[in-house]
Structure 1
Amino acid sequence: MTGTTRGSTHSSGPYRSYVYAYPHKTAYRPLGDGPAGRPLLSDLWAAERKDALSLYAHIPFCEVRCGFCNLFTRIGAPGELTTRYLDALDRQATAVRDALGDEEPVRFAAAAFGGGTPTFLTAGELERLCDIAEKRMGADLRSVPLSVETSPSTATADRLAVLADRGTTRVSIGVQSFVEAEARAAVRPQHRSDVEAALGRIRDARIPVLNIDLIYGIEGQTEASWRTSLDAALAWRPEELYLYPLYVRPLTGLGRLGTGADAPEGPDAAWDEQRLRLYRAGRDHLLAQGYEQVSMRMFRRADAPHDGPEDYACQTDGMIGLGCGARSYTSSLHYSFDYAVEMREIRGIIDGFTATEDFSRAEVGRYVDEDETRRRHLLQSLLQARGMRRAEYRERFGSDPYDDFPAELEMFDARGWLDATARPALLRLSPEGLAHSDALGPDLFSPEVRAAMAAYEAK
């Protein structure tokens, strides 16, 4: 999801946190001192199902860093850094595949390359990345959905040709705004002509699904200028569109300016109202143009193919993450490497990753108990427009969501966030509930996860 921003901010208002994964990475902690305290991957994966795994490879490089971005990425790659990074990725993939074992078939049902910007890599380096996924991990990229993120300046014909040849089914490009003044306000320098040229090259590559990311809530943005960006995107008839509210986070370019929700004077009610107004205008316009709403952010053209995940922000157990910013999910532990936003810290973590020889153990993570598993299932299901069948929840957990989360669901109902027409069989958000997904999601965090996130020291 190129260009998105993540993390928790103020405790009220409609824009508290984009819940793309639970528990959030700021709740992760080192898994122990010394090898004995860090679990072996072979032990973690021994009892897990391996017949429908997801593979995610993280490439933490960008040509520029947008003002709103707090993703784990650095600007540029001096010297032979990309080569060293791919060397380390190769070592990690070998260790992970060995840990999965061969006692039962290992099969990947989906794959994605994200970042950063995966297409920061050259065409030859993208070939090597695909080789790592296929030859080291055993993922058959040409037979499973493969999603890759790109940017206008790196979506070159030679890179796209590699992606198309290796089986890419979806390309997601972070445009954010077709209005150049808005792009500058978001500290994302780009020319519309370059964006349009990149979109033309993507269409020429004949990759089945094009997703365009747009952002609303940029300083100076109006309903008219928002409509300009929407219509410019719609002219390419993208199979998918993601509409993201702008967040301003600590340690980002915009955050250092002291604007938005993290301004010293506190949350900006007028900004919240602007974002809600633009969200509703964008939603209504896309629905009128033949798109269906999949989640607060995701819209899909009604006639578009969709053989991958319903929402690429919603990941499940059985996720294998490669790279220093990737997460892996087993049923009992979510794990990754250290997390940072500040550029100096990120550079140090990447350098440490490239020097690592032994990838056999999990380093940083959070164990997930039965209560957290229920919360995660409810959260991820409820944030999808189709909702969650209560019978499906009862079948998996042996209990009813209204018994497990009575206070939260009662609160959502009182706020008009639940669709009364869907009950009793279905728990589904109302249109207003979908609009407030970034407030609703954090309300389902456990006290323990909230405390861990609050104690995290940003770096």
Structure 2
Amino acid sequence: MKAASLAEWLQQGPYQAYSYSYPHKSAYRALPSRSLRAAWATEDRSALFAYIHVPFCTMRCGFCNLFAMAQPAETLVESYVDAVVRQMQAMDRALGERRFARLAVGGGTPSYLPAALLERLYVAAERILGIDLQATPSGIEVSPETVTPDRMRVCRTMGVQRVSMGIQSFAQHEVRALARPQQNAVVVEAIRQIREAGFPVLNLDLIYGIDGQTVESWLSSIESALSFAPEELYLYPLYVREQTGLGKMAIRKADQGADFRQALYAAARARLLDAGYTQVSMRMFRAPHAPRDSGPVYCCQDDGMVGFGAGARSYTRGFHYSSSYAVQRSATRSIIEDFIACDEEQFAQAGYGFELDSDEQRRRFVIQSLLTDPGLSHAAYTQRFGASVLEDLPQLQELTTLELATDEAGLFQLNAQGVSYSDTIGPWLASAAVRRLMPDAPC
């Protein structure tokens, strides 16, 4: 197990694990089954986040370790959507009175679904869950090859405001290195259709650290992305995990030389700031022309997330739950088939997840706040937990000692150098218990 000192963690480099949620789903385990009505009964249900997971894609990218499968049978896809609707009906009863303040459809690739099935999901979300589609901020993830006029028309008609598309790179040799066959002409046409459909926000995802990538080729991809004036850009460092295609092919090995990801990150960050983008987190950059988000800020799980679909996570303050998790196709398919076989009574129960005691809740709040602009508010922490954050987590002071953060005017905030080490700071703040449960955890 790594030493508790942040200085020692930093010696291992800036890229150890992405802390987009805490704890990561790989820390979930089988638990005694419990009623979801009871789990949600004492939660604030006035501003919930609905997330619908579509675990299907046209291809399995070499770097992907998400819960998804490529090229499923049409009958499986239809049965899956039927099951998601059935799950919504079960959660309608389990949640009782509630209001959803945000909606996201992710994957996988949600736009893999035919337009009619996409429409069915949105209509069910409105009729069963009571989501006002036209008034609720919502987004969807797409891939270039699945963007079609009929799909985009359905999404826009259903009130979708944000479309996020993974491009990863505009350099053909780089997308080949990612085991992702993709032509720039398809990307350009997809962006044209998204813009033509009138979505207020376009997000593009790019990846750095690809085999054969240089600062010059990376900045060329940045310039190509900027030419489309996306409202948001996400820059992801490449992680190669053991069960992914790239991991199995051993394309990147520890002895292949220096890790240039930090130099690539710095070059891209400088270019985006020069273009007027604001950095929201290590990965997210927002354009000056991006519309103001009218929805509530979804941070630290004050609002609660209700997940629908195999692979979707749900969060109450003290209990995170989902279906089980897999990367390999056979295991993923088995989980999806088990999900499809569930009736409403089974969907009203949860038996796989993670119990967050008071310490884990505090760590989650700190990690989720600290790694995103504007940072960790002392007052918000005290209001939530009735204590001082520096008394509960005194190790945070090491961030200021190492000049990675400032603690001024009641706000604990990473500086530019600290933000660049988000993927080390997040894992460093995880509990020893969570790290022991995670197979890929830094140690």
Distance in 1 (CA, whole Å) between partners of 2:294 and 2:60 is: 29
Distance in 1 (CA, whole Å) between partners of 2:296 and 2:262 is: 24
What does residue 4 of structure 1 align with?
none
What does residue 304 of structure 1 align with?
290
* Cα distance change on mapping 1:201 and 1:313 into 2, 3 Å: farther
Contact map agreement 1:21 1:313 (CA 8 A) in 2: no
What does residue 80 of structure 2 align with?
85
Corresponding residue to 2:190 among 190, 198, 203: 198
The answer to whether structure 1 residue 434 and structure 2 residue 429 are counterparts is no
What does residue 151 of structure 2 align with?
159
SS at match of 1:162: helix
Corresponding residue to 1:99 among 76, 79, 94: 94
What does residue 6 of structure 1 align with?
none
The answer to whether structure 1 residue 418 and structure 2 residue 405 are counterparts is yes
Gaps of 5+ in 1: 1-8, 33-37
Cα deviation digits, residues 278-300 of structure 1 (max 9, x gap): 00111110000010000000000
What does residue 449 of structure 1 align with?
434
The answer to whether structure 1 residue 27 and structure 2 residue 35 are counterparts is no
Contact map agreement 1:296 1:385 (CA 8 A) in 2: no
Q: What TM-score do the two structures reach when normalised by structure 1?
A: 0.90
Distance in 2 (CA, whole Å) between partners of 1:336 and 1:10 is: 32
One-letter code aligned to 1:247: Y
* Cα distance change on mapping 1:230 and 1:65 into 2, 3 Å: same
What does residue 5 of structure 1 align with?
none
SS at match of 2:353: strand
Contact map agreement 2:299 2:368 (CA 8 A) in 1: no
How far the C-alpha of 1:250 sits from its partner, in A, is 1.0
Contact map agreement 2:136 2:295 (CA 8 A) in 1: no
SS at match of 2:263: helix
Distance in 2 (CA, whole Å) between partners of 1:205 and 1:64 is: 25
How far the C-alpha of 1:20 sits from its partner, in A, is 0.9
How far the C-alpha of 1:313 sits from its partner, in A, is 9.2
Contact map agreement 2:69 2:329 (CA 8 A) in 1: yes
Aligned-residue RMSD, C-alpha: 2.0
Corresponding residue to 1:115 among 107, 112, 119: 107
Indicate the percent of aligned positions where both proteins have the same amino acid: 47
How far the C-alpha of 1:412 sits from its partner, in A, is 2.2
How far the C-alpha of 1:303 sits from its partner, in A, is 2.8
Distance in 2 (CA, whole Å) between partners of 1:312 and 1:351 is: 31
What does residue 346 of structure 1 align with?
332
1:249-398 equivalence runs, <5 A: 249-260=241-252, 263=253, 266=254, 270-271=258-259, 274-307=260-293, 317-357=303-343, 358-398=346-386
1:226-245 equivalence runs, <5 A: 226-245=218-237
* Cα distance change on mapping 1:237 and 1:94 into 2, 3 Å: same
Show structure 1 runs of 4+ deviating over 3 A.
266-269, 308-317
Corresponding residue to 2:211 among 196, 208, 219: 219
What does residue 173 of structure 2 align with?
181
Distance in 2 (CA, whole Å) between partners of 1:443 and 1:91 is: 40
How far the C-alpha of 1:141 sits from its partner, in A, is 1.4
Cα deviation digits, residues 40-92 of structure 1 (max 9, x gap): 11111111111101100000000001110000000012141111001111111
How far the C-alpha of 1:410 sits from its partner, in A, is 3.0
Distance in 1 (CA, whole Å) between partners of 2:127 and 2:265 is: 43
Contact map agreement 1:212 1:242 (CA 8 A) in 2: yes
Contact map agreement 1:298 1:311 (CA 8 A) in 2: no
SS at match of 1:270: coil
Cα deviation digits, residues 255-308 of structure 1 (max 9, x gap): 012243xx3xx476712xx10000011111000001000000000012311326
Distance in 1 (CA, whole Å) between partners of 2:300 and 2:353 is: 18
Distance in 1 (CA, whole Å) between partners of 2:186 and 2:225 is: 14
What does residue 63 of structure 2 align with?
68
Distance in 1 (CA, whole Å) between partners of 2:386 and 2:300 is: 23
SS at match of 2:186: helix
SS at match of 1:131: helix
One-letter code aligned to 1:340: A
Contact map agreement 1:20 1:314 (CA 8 A) in 2: no
Distance in 1 (CA, whole Å) between partners of 2:57 and 2:370 is: 33
How far the C-alpha of 1:454 sits from its partner, in A, is 4.2
Distance in 1 (CA, whole Å) between partners of 2:384 and 2:24 is: 23
How far the C-alpha of 1:414 sits from its partner, in A, is 3.4
What does residue 3 of structure 1 align with?
none
Q: What TM-score do the two structures reach when normalised by structure 2?
A: 0.93
One-letter code aligned to 1:175: I
Distance in 2 (CA, whole Å) between partners of 1:418 and 1:233 is: 30
* Cα distance change on mapping 1:207 and 1:442 into 2, 3 Å: same
SS at match of 2:140: strand
Gaps of 5+ in 2: 1-8
How far the C-alpha of 1:193 sits from its partner, in A, is 0.8
SS at match of 2:104: strand
